[in-house]
């Protein structure tokens, strides 16, 4: 093959990839919309048919955490802000919505609006304080805020949070359309709507002029200052938008689980989001979504595997590590980091690059010599 012919083939492959990239998001969305109507068995991946209540519940959690990871990447991957307290805003939306229904007897819609509003307000206040410092100092400040919130929830002041047990929402306080196993599909669609909303907000903000400033801050904050812009205000906007999306995710989580638990406010929850983003690919459009879905699915399914009879019958040298879901998740994470730099989102580009590298190397503009090294 001539050099010019090889270049033409490569160009056609790139155009083909761009064409496929245009149609696969709508196709995937159509598949997700039709999932509740399908009885397709997915052995190994799900515990039952695709449209069964148990499978839809797990898929809804995967979509929810995919959206949360996408919103968190607005800080980490788009603006370069490493926050260890992002779960605090998720927990704020969750607990405030819960308390608004239980204590103030507000209807769900009003309680959800109050929950998201409080998450936004808290993000404004804490962001205004935390963003006064940068780098590792900012990370430590957000961690301190998150630890304070976690301690507050666990101490159960005035019996409002339920302490380590959390607080469940009575079914009569929730809309009838989301209560009961027969309405699992509705909860799944709510989680899907949250994911679509998060993707739309992130895409719109990143594509806007302010998103280009975020990219400049991530690459070189001092250069942005030299251009006459004040990074503090732009970083605060990113912090508040990400916090509001996390608060909305807390409302969806309340519907999926029927209550608020202190695990949602722990710093471990933010670390899980960090792992999701790195697993999928920080700074990419679809990477955090893929990482959130994979991590959540693995967290649930590997737990089932660890407690299965298959693992129980293995020798102790294998049974002990395989019976620990965190060990399995850690192994998966290390494998992806080592074998797939850039996360899952970088995999298609790596495959295309490897395919191009396998092509004949040109020896000028003529035909490559027969038997030459590739």
- φ, ψ at 200 (rounded to 5°): -65, -45
Check whether 337 has a pLDDT greater than 80.
no
pLDDT at 367: 47
Higher pLDDT, 266 or 102: 102
Q: Give the whole-angstrom CA distance, residue 258 versus residue 239.
A: 28
Structural tokens at position 14: 């790139």
Q: Tell me the helices (H) and strands (E) count for the chain, helix number first.
A: 15, 2
- φ, ψ at 230 (rounded to 5°): -105, 105
Contact 66, 292 (CB under 8 A): yes
**40 burial type by CB count under 10 A (0-12 exposed, 13-18 middle, 19+ buried):** exposed
Check whether 306 has a pLDDT greater than 70.
no
Nearest to 229 by CA among 214, 243, 244: 214
Check whether 5 has a pLDDT greater than 80.
no
pLDDT in tens, 113-170: 999 999 999 999 999 999 999 889 999 999 999 999 999 999 988 888 888 888 888 8
Check whether 327 has a pLDDT greater than 60.
yes
> How distant, in Å, are the alpha carbons of 49, 55, 191, 314, 328 from that of 309?
22, 21, 33, 9, 17
Q: Give the whole-angstrom CA distance, residue 85 versus residue 144.
A: 8
pLDDT in tens, 20-36: 566 666 777 777 777 88
Mean pLDDT of 195-216: 95
| Highest mean pLDDT (candidates 155-169, 238-252, 280-294) | 238-252
Mean pLDDT of 84-98: 94
Residue 37 pLDDT class (50, 70, 90 cuts):
confident
- Return the half-sphere exposure (C-beta side, CA atoms, 13 A cut-off) of residue 120: 11
Q: Give the whole-angstrom CA distance, residue 99 versus residue 157.
A: 13
Check whether 223 has a pLDDT greater than 70.
yes
Residue 255 pLDDT class (50, 70, 90 cuts):
very high
Q: What burial letters (b/e) apply to 178-203, b meaning 16+ CB within 10 Å?
A: bbeeebbebbbbbbbebbeebbebbe
pLDDT at 33: 76
Residue 234 pLDDT class (50, 70, 90 cuts):
very high
Contact 53, 36 (CB under 8 A): no
Check whether 326 has a pLDDT greater than 80.
no
Residue 173 pLDDT class (50, 70, 90 cuts):
confident
Higher pLDDT, 253 or 180: 253
- Return the half-sphere exposure (C-beta side, CA atoms, 13 A cut-off) of residue 341: 0
Nearest to 250 by CA among 230, 269, 276, 234: 269
Distance of CA 52 to the CA centre of its chain: 24
Number of residues assigned to the chain: 374
pLDDT at 23: 66
pLDDT at 366: 45
Q: Give the whole-angstrom CA distance, residue 277 versus residue 292.
A: 7
High-pLDDT (> 70) share of the chain, %:
83
Mean pLDDT of 6-29: 58
Distance of CA 296 to the CA centre of its chain: 9
- Domain residue extents for the chain: 49-358
pLDDT at 318: 67
Residue 371 pLDDT class (50, 70, 90 cuts):
very low
Residue 338 pLDDT class (50, 70, 90 cuts):
confident
Residue 269 pLDDT class (50, 70, 90 cuts):
confident
Residue 4 pLDDT class (50, 70, 90 cuts):
very low
Distance of CA 96 to the CA centre of its chain: 22
What is the residue whose two structure tokens read 């695709």?
50
Neighbours of 240 (CB within 10 A): 21
Show the CA angle centred on residue 31, arms to residues 30 and 36, nearest 5°.
Answer: 110
Neighbours of 210 (CB within 10 A): 14
Residue 169 is given by DSSP the state P
* One CATH from 1.10.150, 1.10.3470, 1.10.260, 1.10.10 for 49-358: 1.10.3470
């Amino acid at each position: 093959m001539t050099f010019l012919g090889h270049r033409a083939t490569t160009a056609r492959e790139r155009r083909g990839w761009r064409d496929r990239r245009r149609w696969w998001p709508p196709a995937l969305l159509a598949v997700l919309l039709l999932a509740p109507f399908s009885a397709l068995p997915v052995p190994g991946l799900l515990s039952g048919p695709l449209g069964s209540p148990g499978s839809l519940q797990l898929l809804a959690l995967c979509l929810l955490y995919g959206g949360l990871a996408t919103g968190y990447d607005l800080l980490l991957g788009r603006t370069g802000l490493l926050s260890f307290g992002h779960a605090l805003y998720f927990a704020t939306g969750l607990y405030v919505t819960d308390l608004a229904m239980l204590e103030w007897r507000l209807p769900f819609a009003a309680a959800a609006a109050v929950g998201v509003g409080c998450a936004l307000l808290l993000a404004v206040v804490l962001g205004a304080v935390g963003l006064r410092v940068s780098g590792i100092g900012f990370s430590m400040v957000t961690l301190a805020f998150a630890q304070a919130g976690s301690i507050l929830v666990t101490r159960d002041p005035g019996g409002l949070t339920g302490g380590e047990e959390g607080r469940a929402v009575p079914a009569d306080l929730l809309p009838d359309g989301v209560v009961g196993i027969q309405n699992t599909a509705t909860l799944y669609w709510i989680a899907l709507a949250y994911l679509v909303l998060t993707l739309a907000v992130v895409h719109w903000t990143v594509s806007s002029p302010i998103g280009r400033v975020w990219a400049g801050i991530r690459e070189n904050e001092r250069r942005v200052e030299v251009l006459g812009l004040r990074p503090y205000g732009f970083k605060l906007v990113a912090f508040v938008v990400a916090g509001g999306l996390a608060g909305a995710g807390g409302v969806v989580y309340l519907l999926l689980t029927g209550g608020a638990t202190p695990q949602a406010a722990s710093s471990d929850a933010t670390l899980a989001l960090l792992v999701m983003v790195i697993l999928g690919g920080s700074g990419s459009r679809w990477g955090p979504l893929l990482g959130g879905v994979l991590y959540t699915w693995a967290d649930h399914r590997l737990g089932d595997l660890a407690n299965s009879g298959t693992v129980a019958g293995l020798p102790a040298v294998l049974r002990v590590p395989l019976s620990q879901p965190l060990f399995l998740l850690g192994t998966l994470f290390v494998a992806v980091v080592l074998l797939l730099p850039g996360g899952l989102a970088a995999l298609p580009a790596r495959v295309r690059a490897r395919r191009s590298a396998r092509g004949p190397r040109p020896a000028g503009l003529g035909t490559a010599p027969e038997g030459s090294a590739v």
